[in-house]
Amino acid sequence: MPEDRPVLRDGVIAGLIGAAVVAVWFLIFDIARGRPLLTPALLGSAVFEGITDPSQVVVSVGPVFFYTLLHGVAFVGFGVVAASLIQAAEREPALLIAFAILFAGFEAFFIGAAAALGTSMLGALVWWAILAGNLLASVAMLWYFFARHRRLPEMLIGTWGGVVREGAVAGMLGAVVVAVWFLLLDLAEGQPLHTPILLGTRIFGAAHPAAVIVILYTIVHGLTFILFGVIAAALISGAEEQPLLVLGLAILFTAFEVFFVGAVVIAAKWVLDEVSGWALFLGNIFAATAMLWYFFARHRTLATRLIGSWEDD
């Protein structure tokens, strides 16, 4: 039987971590749009003063303080519930579905609560910023829970835990390679961060400050590569048992190149007037090379086994 864990302490710490992540996210977001502490002021004014017109909100100590307090208490409560479910799931793994539903409901609740304040308030808060903030908080809290409960990742995704972790690392490696490549190109042109601003503007619009667009595009960029990395890791894991699955890996990487360049051409042909097609192509080639290097460094016998299997055939 798993040893009893300090549920209350785990829940409080996880909740405070989540609350801090969201608070820092919105502080950065508000500073980037030139209105420090606007988000807690908007929410505090709506909750405690009944103000739903953003134009009437004034950033002041009262609403900011009381909303921050409420924000922290809400996250701590959520953290304690999550910690309780985790402890129960260690005895009854079927309860993990409740844990997953809890985090999904967490995201939906905050979006719904913000929407209930009215469309004008939701517009001022920026719905995707709320979603991103709570997603970051969820990741941070899960990281803490995973660190405290070493069996939790395996319980959640079974033997695929290593595959997901490997794919995530490979994806982040690819994302960093592409980011550094375009940073160097932009610096050479005398326009730092020009590429992420250009692509981010196409996705999120031009109404946001450049810093916000860069942050958002970087998040989307990273998540896309991580998803791709996890799929590639799953194929490589399968290829260790069935070498012919490496063909699927080759198709995946080829499709990745075609998809990325094709998406840019279809969604915004004008981007190619600003960013050279060869730069897009080479950036993704470099990323693919780095990811494959990582995968084969982790699976040193795979190439030998593949060659041996093909020779036998």
pTM of the model: 0.57
Are 167 and 268 members of one domain? yes
For residue 1, being part of any structural domain is answered with no
User: Looking at residue 35, what is its pLDDT?
Assistant: 86
Per-residue pLDDT for 158 more than 90? no
Beta-carbon-side half-sphere exposure of residue 234 (alpha carbons within 13 Å): 11
Same domain, 132 and 47: yes
Cα–Cα distance between 78 and 171 in angstroms, integer?
30
Query: Residues 132, 271: one domain?
Result: no
Residues 74, 186: one domain? Answer: no
Are 164 and 131 members of one domain? no
Q: 54 pLDDT exceeds 70?
A: yes
Is position 240 within any domain?
yes
Q: Among 150, 170, 193, identify where a domain stops.
A: 150
Are the CB atoms for 142 and 78 separated by under 8 Å?
no
Position 184 scores a pLDDT of 92
User: What's the confidence (pLDDT) of residue 241?
Assistant: 66
Domain that holds residue 306: 159-312
Query: CA 100 to CA 37: how far, in whole Å?
Result: 31
Residues 180 and 118 in one domain: no
**From CA 135, how far away is CA 150, in angstroms rounded?**
22
> How high is the pLDDT of residue 265?
55
163 and 301 housed in the same domain: yes
> Are 270 and 246 members of one domain?
yes
- Flag whether pLDDT at 264 surpasses 60: no
pLDDT band at 3; cut points 50, 70, 90: very low
Same domain? For 88 and 209 the reply is no
Do both 102 and 189 map to the same domain? no
Q: Pick the last residue of a domain from 118, 150, 182.
A: 150
Residue 26: pLDDT band by 50, 70, 90 thresholds? very high
User: Do the beta carbons of residue 88 and residue 151 sit within 8 Å?
Assistant: no
pLDDT greater than 80 at residue 48? yes
Q: How confident is the model at residue 72 (pLDDT cuts 50, 70, 90)?
A: very high
Residue 308 lies in a domain: yes
Number of separate domains in the chain: 2
Residues 169 and 264 in one domain: yes
